[in-house]
Amino acid sequence: MKSLPIETFLTFRVSRLAMALERENQRLLRARLGLGVNEWRVLASLCRLGAASPTELARFTLLDKALVSRAVRDLVSDKLVERRPSPTDRRAAELQPTAKGLRAVARMAPQARARQRRLRAVLSEAENRAFDDMLERLRSAVEANASGR
């Protein structure tokens, strides 16, 4: 049997790129903030959303609920996020960044923006637009397939 050329599969190639980007991001986040990638994603997402439930964060970040839960636990322990009862459902929790959490994201923002500019600089303006379009089409196709449409 001829071997499977996995290195040519889109899923394999995208996964490798995502892992390489994540490793680079991990080094930067640990050095600058002492945070892991999941903690950063949850904290940055909360800063973007304002306040959210753990379920909303899992949906927004596409992180597993258990990963969100662990990240929230660590962020609350580090006083970067506060948890309080939801104003609409006392059984549910609402999360929101603290002033310390907002400062951490603000401190990291220049490096995050510079990294995005560096990555985007590899492509022309037209290629960036086309790449964004392709990513959105692939994301939509994957979500449609996952929901059975």
- Helices marked H in 2-124 — which ranges? 10-33, 37-49, 54-61, 65-77, 99-120
pLDDT digits (tens, 9 = 90+) for 10-62: 999 999 999 999 999 999 999 999 999 999 999 999 999 989 999 999 999 99
> Please, what is the angle between helix 99-120 and helix 10-33, to 10°?
130
Residue 104's SS3 state is helix
pLDDT band, very low/low/confident/very high, at 1 (cuts 50, 70, 90): low
- Is-contact 72 89, C-beta < 8 A? no
Give the global pTM. 0.86
pLDDT digits (tens, 9 = 90+) for 53-74: 999 999 999 999 999 999 999 9
pLDDT band, very low/low/confident/very high, at 92 (cuts 50, 70, 90): confident
Q: Is pLDDT of 149 > 90?
A: no
Q: Return the CATH number of the domain spanning residue range 6-146.
A: 1.10.10.10
What are all long-range contacts of 103-109, with beta carbons under 8 Å and residues at least 24 apart?
104/33, 104/35, 104/43, 104/80, 105/43, 105/44, 105/47, 107/32, 107/33, 108/29, 108/32, 108/33, 108/40, 108/44
Domain boundaries, the chain: 6-146
pLDDT band, very low/low/confident/very high, at 89 (cuts 50, 70, 90): confident
